Amino acid sequence: MITLYTFGASFRLPDPSPFVTKAEVLLKMSGLDYKTDTHGFNKAPKGKLPYIDDDGTIVADSMHVRWHLENKYNIEFSPGLTDQQRAISWALERMCEEHLYWAIVNQRWLDDDNFNKGPRKYFRAVPAVLRPLVTVKVRRDIKRNIWGHGLGRHTDAEIVQHAAADLKAISDVLGENPWVMGANPTAGDATVFAFVAGAMTEHFAGPLGEAARSHANLVAYRDRGMNLWFPSFAKTA
Ligand SMILES: N[C@@H](CCC(=O)N[C@@H](CS)C(=O)NCC(=O)O)C(=O)O
């Protein structure tokens, strides 16, 4: 049995981390038995979630999880795709993970209202006397990370402008198709669905979510993915 280490559902999402959601969608696509565990962060080998424990084999990072499932279980997540489609899918995935992600972090962690509605809850376990200091330090570290990436050197409005261009690109690739590479879900959907849902969640206010929800096909795509993989989070469920 595979154990997927997660943060646990929040922000009207199956997981606040799109990387965790991606790994869980891959596990669902694989058809393998798995369970989730929200108590693994302190033992995360790379200091981040997700990671899996597959009968004693620890695999950290959503990409390594995918490669592990492909190699160990001979799973083909994207049957029938051409090399060009695989390349487009890969480029979309990387755009979500290495660019759109930072706009999502910016929106949740550095906007005070969204921080209070969301990530602040992670600090409840910190002793009250230390909590303000720890909270300020972690938010400062996150600001430094976004700055280090480069996106954080822009104003909030410019960050959303960059992210909105990502979302438009996803919307344009999707077009009228139900899934990013056509009629059936493929590996790229595990990532793209996770990041679109994360950017779009109605839990947070602001222009990033509005930009995501301005594309009717992206809203339908998010709802389609929720219905298929996480029906308890689907509006129609
Ligand atoms: N490349 C990694 C990224 C994972 C990642 O960034 N996880 C974040 C949550 S979204 C995390 O665990 N952050 C905790 C930390 O950096 O302390 C993957 O694909 O799994």
Whether residue 17 has its Cβ less than 6 Å from ligand 1: yes
Look up residue 187 and give its two tokens: 């590996």
pTM: 0.97
Whether residue 49 has its Cβ less than 6 Å from ligand 1: yes
Give domain limits for the chain: 2-73, 83-233
Whether residue 159 has its Cβ less than 6 Å from ligand 1: no
Kindly tell me the sign of the dihedral angle through the C-alpha atoms of 165, 15, 87, 221: negative
Whether residue 48 has its Cβ less than 6 Å from ligand 1: yes
Q: Does domain 2-73 have CATH number 3.40.640.10?
A: no
CA-closest residue to ligand 1 atom 10: 17
**Rounded CA separation 82/67 (Å):** 19
Give pLDDT tens digits along the chain (237 positions).
Answer: 999 999 999 999 999 999 999 999 999 999 999 999 999 999 999 999 999 999 999 999 999 999 999 999 999 999 999 999 999 999 999 999 999 999 999 999 999 999 999 999 999 999 999 999 999 999 999 999 999 999 999 999 999 999 999 999 999 999 999 999 999 999 999 999 999 999 999 999 999 999 999 999 999 999 999 999 999 988 743
Q: Domain spanning 83-233 has what CATH number?
A: 1.20.1050.10
